[in-house]
Chain A
Amino acid sequence: MARLLGILVAAIAVTFGANWLLDSFVDEYVVRIINLCGISIILAVSLNVINGLCGQFSLGHAGFMAIGAYVSAYFTTTLRYFDEAATKYVAIEPMFASEWGFVPALLAGGLVAAAAGAVVGIPTLRLKGDYLAIATLGFGEIVTIMITNFEKVGGANGLPGLPPYSNTFWIFSFVVLVIMLSWTLQRSTFGRALIAIRENELAAEVMGIPASRLKVMAFIYGAFFAGVAGGLLGHLLQTISPATFNFMKSIEVVVMLVLGGLGSMTGAVVGAIVLTALPEALRDVESGLGLPGIRMVVYSLVLILLMIFRPQGIFGQKELSLKLLARLLPGKKGDK
C-alpha cells in the first residue's frame, strides 16, 4: 500500500508539473486535445471493467457521464431558469462557489452516477449480450430525456456557465487514479472472478463466485468514474446539454475499447488517445479536401473493417508492456 501511495503521489506531482508546462508553453488548442484525451482515457478504462473484464456489454456509459456532469454542475454553477409560479427568471447560487468545491462536486457526481450504476447493474442479472446492450442503451436515453424535462438545469437547451475548473492537473490526476485502481482490481482475486464470469458465468457460479454481486460491483465502479469524467468534461466545455451525452457518446467509448482490444486496459488507453486525437487531426484534412463529413464516414468504415479483419482489436486481451513492445518491434527477435 505504501508503494501504491508513493506511485500515486509521484504521478500527481508529475501531472502538476505537466499542467504548468502545458499552460505556459503549449498552444491552447493542443492542451485542449490533451485534456479531451485524458477524459476519454477515464471513460475507456472504466468501461473496460464492465465490458472488457466482466464481459457485460454496456452501451450506457454516456448516461452515467450525463449524471456526473449535471450533478457536479449543480454544485458549482449558478442555475438560471424561468419560474412558472412566480412568472419570472430566478437564479440559484451554487453551493460550492469556489474552486475548492470542484473535487467535492466531481465526487458527488461520481457517487450519484455510481448509485445509478447499481440500479442499472440489477437488470444485468437477468440479461445477457445484445439484450443487455439494448437495455443499457435504453437507460442512457431515459437519462437524457429526464434531463431534457428538467427545466432548472436548462432542459433541452442545455446548461451554460459552468466555471472552467477542469484543467490538465485535475483531469490527469483522475487518469492516474483510474488506471491505478483498475490495474490493482484486475490483478486481484476480484479481477480473476470478473474474468471468470466473462469466460463462463455458469462455471464461475458453480465455483461459488457471486456473479450477480460482482457484476453490479463492476457497474458501480465503471459508473463512478464515468460520472467523474462527465463532471470533468462539463467543466472543460463549460456548457452541457442532453445532446452532449446521447448514445453516440456511449458508442464512441465502446469503439475506443474495441480498437484497443476489449479486456486490455492499456489497449483502452491507446484506443482512447487515438480516437480522440485522430478525428481532431482529420478535421483539417476534411476542410482541406472540401468534403465535410468524410471524417465520420471513414471512422465508421474503419470500425467495420476492424471487426471483420481484427475483431480482437490492436492488443487483443494482452496488456501493452515493454516485453510485448520489444516483441512487436521488428528485427529485435532473439537478439542477445
Chain B
Amino acid sequence: MTALLETSDLTIRFGGLTAVDTFNLSIQEGELFGLIGPNGAGKTTVFNMLTGVYLPSEGTVHFREKLINGRNPVQVARMGISRTFQNIRLFDELSVLENAMTGAHQHSKLTIFDSLFRTPRHFREEQRQRDRAYELLEFMGLEDRAGLPAKQLPYGHRRKLEIARALATEPKLICLDEPAAGMNTGEKAELSALIRKIRDELNVTVLVIEHDMKLVMGICEKIQVLDYGKTIALGTPGEIQNDPKVIEAYLGGD
C-alpha cells in the first residue's frame, strides 16, 4: 500500500539556517501520527511545507501520489490537507458558526451572481454550509456558542474552533499544531478523545504536533522525533519513550 502522505529528503533553509534537513515522513491512511521535538526543532516549518505556505528548498512532498511542492495553500487545501495554527488564526470578527462555515466555502459551486441576486442555489448552499458547520461545532462541543463573535471565545475553545473550521474543508488529512497548548488537564483529556473521534468517526487521518508527552503517547500510534531539523527517532510510543537519543534531545535541549 502506498502512503497517504510521503516526503522525501525535505529541506528548507532560511539564510544560513537549515530549519528542516532531509526530512522523510510517511503517513498511511487512517493513522494517528505524532510529530514531536524540542522548541525550534522545525515542526511547524514542516507543516508549512506540507500545506504550501513555505516552498521547500529541496526534496518533495507527495499527497495521494500527487506532488505538492510548488502548489499554493489554496490548491493544497483543495487536495484535502487542512491544518490548525500554533498561534491561533481565527477570523475574529465573524461568529463561531461563520468561522466554521468559511471552511466549507471551497466546496461551493456558486457564482458571485447567485449570491448577488439570491437565486435558489444561493439559499441551498447557505443551508448546506450552515448545516455542516453546525454539525462540526456539535462534534467539537461548541454548538452553544455558535452565535458568539469568535474573538469572545475563551482560549481553549478557540483551539477547538480552529479544528472545527479545518474539518469543514472535508480534509483527508488534518495537521494539528499544538492543539493542547494552553489547555488545562480536563480540557486535554477531552481533546484526546476528540482527536481519536476525528480519526475513528470522521475517517480523517491525523498528524499532530504536541509538546504534552502524555497526550501524544496516549493517542498516537506512531511518532517521529525531530531535533534541529533532523529526524532522530521513529516508532511506537513505547519505542520512543525508551530511545536514548530522544531522552538526550529533550534533556540536553534546555
Contacts and interface: CB of A to CB of B under 8 A. Distances in A.
Contacts of A185: 112, 115-116
Interface string A188-208: 111111011011101111111
B119 interface: yes
Interface stretch (B70-78, B201-209, B217-225): B70-78
A184 interface: yes
A209 interface: yes
A1 interface: yes
Contact of B90 (A3, A191, A202, A203): A203
Secondary structure class of chain A's binding surface, majority of residues: helix
Contacts of A1: 117-120
Contacts, number: 103
Given A189-B129, A192-B98, A205-B73, A181 B89 contact: no
Interface in A200-225: 200, 202-212, 217
A209 B106 contact: yes
Which of A189, A209, A212 counts the most chain B CB atoms within 10 A? A189
A73 B53 CA distance: 47
A199 B93 contact: yes
A326 interface: no
A323 to B, nearest CB: 14
A296 interface: no
Interface residues of A, number: 31
B115 A190 contact: yes
Interface string B50-75: 01010000000000000000001110
B92 interface: yes
Interface string B21-51: 0000000000000000000000000000001
Interface string A1-36: 101100000000000000000000000000000000
Contacts of B101: 189, 192
A317 interface: yes
Given A189-B108, A202-B89, A207-B102, A184 B117 contact: yes
A195 B166 CA distance: 17
Q: Which of B78, B92, B93, B108 has the most CB of A within 10 A?
A: B93
Interface string A55-81: 000000000000000000000000000
B160 interface: no
A196 B102 contact: yes
A206 B73 contact: yes
B83 to A, nearest CB: 6
A236 B166 CA distance: 51
Given A184-B116, A189-B105, A206 B77 contact: yes
B139 interface: no
A212 B126 CA distance: 23
Interface of A: 1, 3-4, 181, 184-185, 188-193, 195-196, 198-200, 202-212, 217, 263, 317
Given A4-B117, A317-B93, 11 more contacts: A1-B118, A184-B115, A184-B116, A195-B94, A203-B85, A203-B91, A204-B102, A205-B74, A207-B102, A207-B166, A209-B106
13 contacts: A1-B120, A4-B118, A188-B126, A189-B126, A195-B93, A196-B91, A202-B73, A204-B91, A205-B73, A206-B51, A206-B77, A210-B74, A212-B74
The 6 residue pairs across chains A and B that have the minimum distance between CB atoms: A208-B106, A208-B77, A188-B115, A203-B89, A199-B91, A205-B73
